[in-house]
Structure 1
């Protein structure tokens, strides 16, 4: 009897051991290469959550994971069916547009396989780098050949004491001529988490949060990356009870006419990366996580036409508006660009009717003789809004689009600005991608306006120079309230909209804005030329305004680098002030603005520049005046910035 009991006990023990060996091991937290960030994933009572900590301090509280597809529910009744060992991943790439040219990425990756009650499986891949966390869902379930997205339960749960710096998402089919959503609202700054969005469409990416205090203070920027046209773009939902923010999707009108709203595929369904940049404020602003997770650019064939380069552009429409899109004015702005040693001039809406294709070809030839390239505007829209500006409806089909691009190439045009998109539906995201691919085939650079956030596209598609997706300078020329708001708005942008993606704010006015009282000093305006990242920086100032600045300011703008080798956050706080240094070759350009109502005296650590003396350009006694002096780089370089003022210091 004892022997049989012993045999039974031995067999039971062996079965338990065998079962334990077959099941996934209990998972330890996945850590960043430097060990400071950690993600823990838990499967409990059929649900799956993840949480993030930094140096042992909670950053993100347990937050939901899950997808629901037609015929497959991966939000409940789940078990952990597999778990890969943590492995290092790394990448090195080059950027023509952005905060640094050569970028290195290193992270640790782990993939969780989840199985639902119907024995269907989904994978969740996590990556943890020194500057953040990313994850995405992958469904390759063979029992579900057609995979149609229904909903996503991903959430981001913050402590109730956390604060947010968030831009409301405008509601589709509202605004001028029903052109929303265009990511063109003012940020709400330092609001308690859980504050509902004033617009039912939610909050846009990137969304910025601060959690913790003292040494535990941590900043988090939420966004997404790797949009290839197979998935819709997302945002945060309007309601965030108890500080729990949930992924939201586009509204029904946000589609290409007749196209799909939500993701669907007959193959493997892969979501974009959900990206959380995490760290101190300097670490956050220095991060490149939004492009690190984007797909690399495809190799270009040796026979493909060469693409133009990043640069600066003159642009008449910003201050002069529609009536000046005529031949003689555009010729004047070509001369202006040539005098400023800028690379391009942009001819805006209705050029086809007010100037004509043949005369624009003449302008392109005239510009080329002065080493200036011509860019032209297009209306993206078919039936999705009420805009009438032209050229319109010429990009809607591949055949028509490529015919138009071939014509532009023959005319000598270097790039296009495409405006008035319908939103974030899958078919609309695919339309953006189609434009980028076809434009590249004809050597054309691209600028998207009235558009979505680019979400890393400048890495995947090097001909994407910039995109608006911001309440830019043009709004400050329409109403005084937007001009007044730009002072704080501008010091939000390096922390949010311009954090990872190029942004066509169209900065810098030194003279007058018709019917508007400028709220900023000239030093503030000059600093924008360095602070804001855009592959083509379309400067709003007209020749008459530029004629008012001192020769040293004009010379600075003539020689201003077109792209940057490196960038470094120096000081700042969202909505209050910001100082950033950017490097080109052996020179450092340090720029800052003060969005507050009083003088701000700063001691800046510029020791990374080395012991050099530079030229400081900042505000003079009057709001339209400049002053120039020497500035030494050091551990405690002292500077005072006037209210609504700014500066640029150049160290060569």
Structure 2
């Protein structure tokens, strides 16, 4: 379905008074104007309330006239779009894309320089970007800064992580905007590489709540051939301004005409559910570019991964302390290597027994003895296995069991090296029938001096997805830039980490209980996250009595995360032997799908709680996840989303009466009851707890 109307207003140069653009519902209004100095200015209102005060727009160019003032309006174009599209994988089978658009064509008369500013206004928010039209006189140029302002109306409650050029793996701080200060962050956060250059810079997406109950989120969409946008914070004036991550010599972006910037987005609502359920970021990306998508499929997987994080085994074959040459054939085994043929077969057996699609193996290839911290160019070749990992035998064994293998490519930050080896690495994957790759980017980036969030790396991550599509390979990137909806364009970019994942609970101060209630309002707005839930042995002293680390949730909450943390690539992250001890709870992980027909956000409050119901794409079954922060919570959920007249069996996996994320995290109970669309379920969540429910129709 697509409805399109088009209007072109062309005229000679004229002074631009405030031009108003409304959302289809008319609840959101944008005003755009030019100041007496020809500066582009916009402001945003929601239901009559000011959300963004008058704020300037513009782009500064290196060794050229900045595109910040002196503008006149040449013409404008108005368009309304109402269409639907079907994602290959997603939270719902059909997505509506409905907005009103105005393109303002501006000209700096004195030098005859053009700039277009395009606004799209949705019912859930506003998006705008800069477009550089084709100009024969100006073909190549360098962006030195982007002068985009977001002037806020007050000292909002803010959920933020620092503006680190190399990592998003932080616990979210929840403070007033005026209290943002990176110097006060926890130093025991487990992050090895930090690149923070200002105490008053944060990353987007930035989630906020105003004193009068407005939920506001500032983010970006369709980051292609451009650096990531961070936000400078003026804590006195409550002003945010764009900050583009620089490259090794301080430039921000190399562009040529015609080209466009990413969309800058402002979501706003008086209902938090509208923010967390928004598909605006996906809608702002280009449509799918892959003709045949039949090979792009959801996967649930297990893997040789968590055992390294808890110290049971190692990635390296010979022991990193020996500092042996990773390319040598004379490596002496340490006896703790996890990625052995025998161990991999045991994981394959477990996957086959319990119906999992895939098995990930990390540490299978030579190089791990000397991989981190040395800024070394050629650590891995991505094709040579360790002597105790028989890739051919494992591939044949997995095939005989109906299980797919998932490849692991840790680049150690040496991106140039990975690109040199990429086609050979993909050839190896196709030879042994690996449908998906998990890539990693731990460490300082090579080319030296580049940052994870700079233009060079944005282009790399997108290139890998595009090249993988040529091989019909799905990609799950870790330590990459956070997604901004590119999975619509290349749906084989199935998932990413790009935030603080579950593994931090194994060896650092961990993820506090509110962490998973914030991520859906921030990181997950741009795409699926490989969060690796499903840890049942919560406390790490089970592996070493001296350890005090633990997962900061209850066991039941780990189940609920399979619903609240969307990903078509879901890992059962714990060790197989741990699941064998809790097979009744493990059943939910076996049953829950990874691809959905419909998703309904029932309750939401960032930093506090979240309740979501999702319908399986391939059946009439529903699955519900409810999570809370460090506070216990009681709620009642209406099941009016179920089909009227049908009876369902609800299997409820809930916190035990004495459960507590810290004192008694493994206390849970399971009960069954018959429900209909008229039923209401009373749910009790322990501190740091959750509830997971499967709702299956009776035949």
| TM-score, scaled to structure 2 | 0.80
Which of 242, 250, 253 is residue 247 of structure 1 equivalent to? 242
Given the alignment of the two structures, is residue 345 of structure 1 paired with residue 359 of structure 2, yes or no?
Answer: yes
1:372 aligned residue: 403
CA contact (8 A) 2:13 2:74 kept: no
Match of 2:552, SS state, is coil
CA contact (8 A) 1:261 1:427 kept: no
2:167 aligned residue: 182
Rounded to whole Å, the distance in 2 between the matches of 1:196 and 1:75 is: 29
2:338 aligned residue: 324
CA contact (8 A) 2:435 2:473 kept: yes
Deviation of 1:489 (Å): 0.9
Deviation of 1:53 (Å): 0.7
Higher-helix-fraction structure = 1
Q: 1:403-422 residue pairs with structure 2 within 5 A?
A: 403-420=424-441, 422=445
Q: 1:619-630 residue pairs with structure 2 within 5 A?
A: 619-621=655-657, 623-629=665-671, 630=673
CA contact (8 A) 2:215 2:272 kept: yes
Rounded to whole Å, the distance in 2 between the matches of 1:435 and 1:43 is: 41
Which of 243, 263, 274 is residue 253 of structure 2 equivalent to? 263
Deviation of 1:539 (Å): 2.0
Deviation of 1:331 (Å): 1.4
1:120 aligned residue: 113
1:281 aligned residue: 272
Given the alignment of the two structures, is residue 145 of structure 1 paired with residue 133 of structure 2, yes or no?
Answer: no
Give per-residue Cα distances to partners, 1:542-579, cap 9 Å, x unaligned.
Answer: 1111112243x333322221211121211132222211
Rounded to whole Å, the distance in 1 between the matches of 2:138 and 2:482 is: 32
Give the 3 Å change call, closer, same or farther, for CA 382–498 of structure 1 in structure 2.
Answer: closer
Which of 256, 281, 294 is residue 290 of structure 1 equivalent to? 281
Give the 3 Å change call, closer, same or farther, for CA 586–32 of structure 1 in structure 2.
Answer: same
Given the alignment of the two structures, is residue 554 of structure 1 paired with residue 586 of structure 2, yes or no?
Answer: yes
Give the 3 Å change call, closer, same or farther, for CA 76–98 of structure 1 in structure 2.
Answer: same
Rounded to whole Å, the distance in 2 between the matches of 1:118 and 1:109 is: 28
After superposing the two structures, state which structure 1 stretch, 32-41 or 411-420, moved more: 411-420
| TM-score, scaled to structure 1 | 0.86
Rounded to whole Å, the distance in 1 between the matches of 2:636 and 2:593 is: 26
Q: 1:351-430 residue pairs with structure 2 within 5 A?
A: 351-352=365-366, 355=386, 359-381=390-412, 383=414, 395-397=418-420, 400-420=421-441, 422=445, 423-430=452-459
Given the alignment of the two structures, is residue 569 of structure 1 paired with residue 601 of structure 2, yes or no?
Answer: yes
Q: 1:227-242 residue pairs with structure 2 within 5 A?
A: 227-228=223-224, 230-237=225-232, 239-242=234-237
Which of 11, 14, 20 is residue 29 of structure 1 equivalent to? 20
Rounded to whole Å, the distance in 2 between the matches of 1:476 and 1:529 is: 17
Which of 224, 230, 233 is residue 220 of structure 2 equivalent to? 224
Rounded to whole Å, the distance in 2 between the matches of 1:500 and 1:335 is: 35
Deviation of 1:92 (Å): 2.3
Rounded to whole Å, the distance in 2 between the matches of 1:221 and 1:650 is: 32
Deviation of 1:36 (Å): 0.8
Rounded to whole Å, the distance in 1 between the matches of 2:402 and 2:73 is: 61
After superposing the two structures, state which structure 1 stretch, 558-567 or 624-633, moved more: 624-633
Match of 2:111, SS state, is coil
CA contact (8 A) 1:361 1:412 kept: no
Give the 3 Å change call, closer, same or farther, for CA 282–579 of structure 1 in structure 2.
Answer: same
Q: 1:298-309 residue pairs with structure 2 within 5 A?
A: 298-300=289-291, 307-309=295-297
1:14 aligned residue: none
Match of 1:510, SS state, is coil
1:3 aligned residue: none
1:8 aligned residue: none
Given the alignment of the two structures, is residue 535 of structure 1 paired with residue 568 of structure 2, yes or no?
Answer: yes
2:690 aligned residue: 646
Two-structure CA RMSD over aligned residues (Å) = 2.5
Match of 2:418, SS state, is coil
Match of 2:514, SS state, is helix
Given the alignment of the two structures, is residue 111 of structure 1 paired with residue 108 of structure 2, yes or no?
Answer: no
Deviation of 1:467 (Å): 0.7
Give per-residue Cα distances to partners, 1:84-137, cap 9 Å, x unaligned.
Answer: 2x3202342222333222111010000112222423120000000111110110
CA contact (8 A) 1:24 1:81 kept: no
1:130 aligned residue: 123
After superposing the two structures, state which structure 1 stretch, 123-132 or 623-632, moved more: 623-632
Corresponding pairs, count: 597
Rounded to whole Å, the distance in 2 between the matches of 1:511 and 1:54 is: 46
Deviation of 1:527 (Å): 0.7
Which of 30, 39, 43 is residue 34 of structure 2 equivalent to? 43
Give per-residue Cα distances to partners, 1:355-401, cap 9 Å, x unaligned.
Answer: 459712321221122221111211234657xxxxxxxx65223xx31
Rounded to whole Å, the distance in 1 between the matches of 2:33 and 2:674 is: 54
Rounded to whole Å, the distance in 1 between the matches of 2:464 and 2:242 is: 27
CA contact (8 A) 2:58 2:147 kept: yes
CA contact (8 A) 1:196 1:239 kept: no
Rounded to whole Å, the distance in 2 between the matches of 1:424 and 1:20 is: 41
* Residue ranges of structure 2 left out of the alignment (5+ in a row): 1-9, 184-195, 315-336, 368-384, 446-451, 660-664
Rounded to whole Å, the distance in 1 between the matches of 2:550 and 2:67 is: 55
After superposing the two structures, state which structure 1 stretch, 74-83 or 489-498, moved more: 74-83
Give per-residue Cα distances to partners, 1:499-535, cap 9 Å, x unaligned.
Answer: 3311111112112533334432211111111111122
1:486 aligned residue: 512
2:191 aligned residue: none
Match of 2:237, SS state, is helix
Deviation of 1:477 (Å): 0.5
Give the 3 Å change call, closer, same or farther, for CA 31–631 of structure 1 in structure 2.
Answer: farther
Rounded to whole Å, the distance in 2 between the matches of 1:411 and 1:451 is: 26
Rounded to whole Å, the distance in 2 between the matches of 1:296 and 1:242 is: 39
Rounded to whole Å, the distance in 1 between the matches of 2:622 and 2:399 is: 31
Given the alignment of the two structures, is residue 205 of structure 1 paired with residue 190 of structure 2, yes or no?
Answer: no
Match of 1:566, SS state, is strand
After superposing the two structures, state which structure 1 stretch, 582-591 or 354-363, moved more: 354-363
Deviation of 1:615 (Å): 2.2
CA contact (8 A) 1:420 1:451 kept: yes
Rounded to whole Å, the distance in 1 between the matches of 2:253 and 2:589 is: 45
